[in-house]
Amino acid sequence: MRYILIALLIAIFGYSLALVLQNPTELAVNLLFTQVPAMRLGLLLLLTLALGILVGLLLGVQVFRVFQTNWEIKRLRKDIDHLRKEQIQLAQQAAAEAAASVKHEKTVLDITNENKSPL
pLDDT digits (tens, 9 = 90+) for 88-101: 999 999 988 888 87
Q: What is the mean pLDDT of residues 67-75?
A: 91
- Residue 119: the pLDDT is 53
Q: Is residue 78 part of a domain?
A: yes
**Predicted local distance difference test score (pLDDT) of residue 90:** 94
DSSP for residue 115: T
Q: Give the structural domain span for 23.
A: 2-114
Tally of domains in the chain? 1
**Within-domain flag for 7:** yes
**Residue 119 in domain:** no
pTM: 0.49
Least confident of 12-21, 67-76, 91-100: 12-21
Alpha carbon distances (Å) from 2 to 5, 7, 14, 58, 112: 5, 9, 18, 24, 85
Q: What is the pLDDT of residues 43-59, one digit of tens each?
A: 888 888 888 889 988 88
Q: Is residue 98 part of a domain?
A: yes
21/7 Cα distance (integer angstroms):
21
Residue 58 located in a structural domain: yes
